[in-house]
Amino acid sequence: MWKWFLLLVPRLWANWITLLGSVLASVSAVGMAVLGFVLLSSPEFRPYTTALTLLVGPVVFCFGVAVIVAGLLWERLRRRTVEGPILDPLGECFKAAFADKRIRRLTGFVAFATVFNIVVITVTSTAAVHYMDTPGFCGKLCHSVMQPEYDTYRESPHSRVACVTCHIGPGASWAVKSKIDGLRQVWGILTDDFSRPIPSPVKELRPARDTCEQCHWPAKFHGNRVALRTHYQDDETNSATLNALLLKVGGRNPETGDFHGIHWHVSPDVEIRFEPLDARREKVGRVQVYKGGTLSAEYLPKEGGPQPTEPIRAMDCVDCHNRPTHVYDPNPAIAVDRAFNEGALDKAVPFLHEVSVKALTEAAAQSVERETVAPWLKVRMGALYKELHPDASVSDVALQKAAEGVSTLYLRNVYPHLKLTFGAHFNHLGHLGDERDRRGCFRCHDDEHAAKDGKTISMDCELCHGILAMDEDPATVADPLKALLP
């Protein structure tokens, strides 16, 4: 009986290969069990523990089992070479199993263990695939690289939408493609060979019709929307000025069926193609308009400009809505304006807008460490008050609170170790600055892209919005607009 028992049970102590495999499989199995208990008993999300349990553990376990099998095969070959032909252990095992009750029980145990291992691997593999689709995996596991994107994601309108919903979308082909590309990214992180900051736009991003439009319906008639923009001056009272715009979002008119307004671009009967002149798609060359599949107009920029860097591209939602989630402030002044509007900075503190913008600009230029930026800002803002407005009365408590508020703006936008700062990622949804800044809408709407008949792509303001108020005191605007103010 013991002869057949030894033939049946794997001789894990036969050589160093099987011993190594046994150690790997055993340690990984125990590790997965312990870490799994930790995950189930912890209310907090633990990215590294989850990765060890669902990604590393199963791989090590499978590798250990494979090493055991390789060691047994090597041992069998070695014995056959040294001792000559031996009995077929598999056939003898089956004979013994049917002949002896206890051996049958052992055979059943081995079969049960095999099925159990298959179930464990299947469950952990399924859980691993699910885990790799979570925002925690995307943002926390590679924290030093993806921290800015994850931080802005959590504060965005899409904070409850999983990363893969937009970056991959439905279907297996794009999921497989993303996982294969992820191996390249993992290697870049391990070798510290990756772009700083993360480049934008994403070159291989799936078309918005397959992702964004699973939830959003751009052809839906949106009509006109009022947009309010409040800015603050560098005077003692931080006086506010209001810009009010009537955005002609448009879409498909339910009465006529025609598309108009800003969303004219997404009409199913219209396709716009353009030539990017740089990797960031901030400069546009040739622009073509197709209607019903036929080229109806072609606009060319002035001669002598840069040459296209990419093939001609069909205009997509993300060519305008290029920062739908990972939104950064374009400059310190707008960041401080937002902080005033949200109540993070006290408008009653004299000259706070001017001092905050200057201190924030200097901190970003000097790449102050994120861990020390709050005390640095307090010292610098105090020095600026003494330098620019020595007669202003600002208490130490007010200065401390202001420095803490400005530091949140710095932490949101500046990551020195990734070379990310204000303006690193431009938002093309609209336009900033004056007409000299040929980004955003002005990439095409610049009055310089001209057709053969002399017609240009207009940059007339009234195409996209009407101006209801421009740099006005919020207290003096019309009552309908006052009703919309917070």
Mean per-residue pLDDT, 306-319: 86
Question: Which residue, chain included where needed, has tokens 């996982």?
Answer: 179
- Which of 111, 131, 151 is the C-terminal boundary of a domain? 131
Indicate whether 15 and 86 sit together in one domain: yes
Query: What is the pLDDT, as a whole number, of residue 378?
Result: 94
Average pLDDT, integer, range 269-273: 91
**70 and 156 assigned to the same domain:** no
Is residue 275 classed as helix, strand or coil in its secondary structure?
strand
28-32, 315-319, 320-324, 475-479: segment of lowest average pLDDT: 28-32
Q: How many domains does the chain have?
A: 4
- Do residues 477 and 371 share a domain? no
Residues 414 and 472 in one domain: no
Closest CA relative to residue 182, chosen from 62, 174, 170, 324: 174
Return the higher-pLDDT residue of 309 and 86.
309
In this structure, are 321 and 442 located in the same domain? yes
- What's the half-sphere exposure (Cβ side, CA atoms, 13 Å) at 221? 10
pLDDT of residue 345: 94
Whether residue 200 lies inside any domain: the answer is no
In a domain, 437, yes or no: yes
Check residue 411 and give its pLDDT.
Answer: 95
Q: Which residue has the higher pLDDT, 209 or 369?
A: 369
**pLDDT value at position 105?**
66
pLDDT of residue 2: 44
The residue from 83, 99, 131 where one domain ends is 131
> Is residue 217 a part of any domain in this protein?
no
pLDDT number for residue 429:
86
Q: Per the structure block, which two tokens stand in for 219?
A: 């052809």
Beta bridge partners of 231: 241
Same-domain status, 140 and 126: no
Torsion sign over Cα 317, 321, 322, 325:
negative
Q: Which residue, of 194, 212, 243, is where some domain finishes?
A: 194
pTM: 0.75
Average pLDDT along the chain = 81
Crossing angle of helices 57-83/101-131, nearest 10°?
140
Residues 247 and 290 in one domain: yes
Owning domain of residue 344: 332-418
Is residue 423 one of the residues assigned to a domain?
no
pLDDT digits (tens, 9 = 90+) for 376-423: 999 999 999 999 999 988 899 999 999 999 999 999 999 999 999 998
- Whether 160 maps to a domain, the answer reads yes
% of residues, the chain, pLDDT over 90: 28
| pLDDT confidence of residue 373 | 95
Among 49-58, 96-105, 304-313, 365-374, the range with the most confident prediction by mean pLDDT is 365-374
* Same-domain status, 412 and 281: no
Does any domain span residue 203? no
pLDDT of 35 over the 70 cut:
no
Least confident of 9-23, 35-49, 163-177, 461-475: 35-49
Q: Is residue 467 part of a domain?
A: yes
Where is average pLDDT lowest: 54-68, 347-361, 382-396, 433-447?
A: 54-68
Residue 452: closest CA among 210, 288, 276: 288
% of residues, the chain, pLDDT over 70: 80
* Whether residue 287 sits in one domain with residue 174: no
Q: Within 10 A of 194 (CB to CB), how many other CB atoms are there? A: 17
pLDDT at 467 over 80: yes
Residues 6 and 105 in one domain: yes
Q: Which of 181 and 44 is assigned the larger pLDDT?
A: 181
Dihedral of alpha carbons 157, 159, 163, 165, sign: negative
- For residue 202, the model assigns a pLDDT of 82
- Residue 431's pLDDT is 81
Answer yes or no: do 164 and 244 share one domain.
Answer: no
Q: 309 lies in a domain? A: yes
Does 320 share its domain with 453?
A: yes
Alpha carbons 42 and 404: distance in angstroms, whole number: 32
82 pLDDT band, cuts 50/70/90, is low
**Averaged pLDDT, 243-271:** 85
pLDDT band at 145 (very low <50, low <70, confident <90, very high): confident
Residues 289-313: b if buried by 16+ CB within 10 A, e if exposed: bbeeeeeeeebbbeeeeeebeeeee
